[in-house]
Amino acid sequence: MTAKALLLGALLAATAAAAMAEPNFNGTWERYPPAGEKADPRYAPSGIPDPPLKPQYKGEWQAKQKLLAARIEEGQPAGDNYVHCIPDGMPAMMMGMFPMEVFMRKEQINITQEAFTQVRRIYMNEKLPKWDEVDPSFYGRSVGRWEGDTLVIETVGIKSNVTFRWTPHSEAMKITERMRLLAPDILQDQITVEDDFLEKPWTYSYSFRRMKGYKLQEYVCEDNREYVDETGGQRLRIGK
């Protein structure tokens, strides 16, 4: 056997091994564990710690958390983007209470969240642009690559008014996700947020369970008659 043939065989074997290492995330997933179900400790999400905000930003965030807790106790809506029919954006859409669908192909991966029919697009094996080279948006610009059986996604370009748990951030914020299967039907998404507003990276994880046979439903926020007034009370808009 010639050296050329040996080299070709090695390249084919390496390509096949890489392909086998890339798991199949295609399908529909629900947040795990769903309400009322106890999680298997092997697959449980990490829980979300408070954001490690720098002192100059922490006071305002804590005040908003107190307001949120008071509204929840009163049975009032939070007064966030949901009330105004505005989608979550990143990274909040990845913990949506509704199912999500993953559609994979070699050059691109799409993730659709049923709530507000949110769609993010992950471009594979492309260079991550600088944050100021991207028009700020709800989902930013995401690029992905495989590291063995783990999908690594980097995202920049999130609007500063698109927040998770009312956590302030700059437009230079970067989100890095590491997605992998913990079991054939359990998907983990570890999220790390880096930003100048934070003293250190903010890391937490979500878990999802495959929903075999489930098809996403249409979700259009078209009524939007409930709103929160200037006193924090819930009101119903009548007429235009």
Kind of pairing, strands 27-32 and 234-236?
unpaired
User: What pTM was computed for the model?
Assistant: 0.83
Q: According to the model, what pLDDT value does residue 44 have?
A: 97
- In angstroms, the Cα distances linking 122 to 14, 125, 141 are 24, 9, 8
Instruction: Give whole-number Cα distances, 143 to 22, 111, 154, 201, in Å.
Output: 16, 13, 6, 19
Tell me the pLDDT tens digit for each residue of 91-113: 999 988 899 999 999 999 999 99
Alpha-carbon gap, residue 169 to 178, rounded angstroms: 21
Count of CA atoms in the C-beta half-sphere (13 A) of 44: 9
Question: CA-to-CA distance for 11 and 163, rounded, in angstroms?
Answer: 45
232-235, long-range: CB < 8 A, 24+ apart: 232/67, 232/70, 232/71, 232/76, 232/79, 233/76, 234/76, 234/77
Cβ neighbour number for residue 129 with a 10 Å cutoff: 13
Say how many C-beta atoms besides its own lie within 10 A of residue 31's C-beta: 18
Pick 236 or 162 by higher pLDDT.
162
Query: What is the DSSP code (8-state) at residue 232?
Result: S
Domain at 22-236, CATH class: mainly beta
> 130 vs 56, 136, 173, CA distance in Å?
26, 12, 11
Q: How confident is the model over 39-79, as pLDDT tens digits?
A: 999 999 999 999 999 999 999 999 989 988 887 787 765 66
Tokens 């006071």 locate to 59
Q: Which of 13-17, 131-135, 231-235 has the lowest mean pLDDT?
A: 13-17
Average pLDDT value for residue range 195-224: 92
Task: Show the tokens assigned to 33.
Answer: 């564990």
Note the pLDDT tens digit of each residue in 128-163.
999 999 999 999 999 999 999 999 999 999 999 999
Query: How far apart, in whole angstroms, are the C-alpha atoms of residue 15 and residue 106?
Result: 13
Compute the mean pLDDT over every residue in the chain, rounded to the nearest whole number.
88
Token couple for 105: 């192909």
Query: So where are the chain's domains?
Result: 22-236
